[in-house]
């Protein structure tokens, strides 16, 4: 799954959540920004972290963690990668 697909799926899910749960538009925009920033940081880590032995797979679970938690989620994934869990 590439980054654009993940971003599009996340935006669709957030829009559905807005209609189903009546989420505030301001909060929805914050979540979308959080997802985009988190995925960019995750991409940068994967691009330049290879020399440090850090490689985080891009899948639904990691995208969900990054989408919900943003940059702290990326930090958690990095720590899990260094420990050897992912």
The Cα-based distances of 48 to 45, 61, 84 in angstroms read 5, 21, 19
**Nearest by Cα to 8 from 61, 62, 45, 63:** 63
Segments making up each domain of the chain, as ranges: 3-83
* CA–CA distance, 73 with 38 (Å, rounded to integer): 8
CB atoms closer than 10 angstroms to residue 37 = 14
**What string of pLDDT tens digits covers the 86 residues of the chain?**
676 777 777 777 777 777 777 767 787 788 778 878 888 888 888 888 888 888 888 887 887 788 778 888 888 998 998 888 87
* CA–CA distance, 39 with 20 (Å, rounded to integer): 25
Predicted TM-score of the model (pTM): 0.65
For residues 73 and 38, the answer to whether their CB atoms sit within 8 Å is yes
């Amino acid at each position: 799954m590439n980054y654009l697909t993940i971003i599009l799926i996340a935006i669709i899910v957030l829009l559905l959540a807005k209609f189903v749960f009546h989420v505030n538009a301001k909060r929805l925009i914050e979540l979308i920004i959080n997802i985009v920033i988190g995925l960019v940081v995750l991409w940068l880590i994967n691009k330049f972290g290879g020399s440090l032995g850090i490689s985080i797979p891009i899948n639904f679970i990691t995208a969900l963690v990054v989408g919900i938690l943003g940059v702290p989620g990326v930090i958690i994934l990095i720590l899990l990668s260094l420990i050897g869990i992912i």
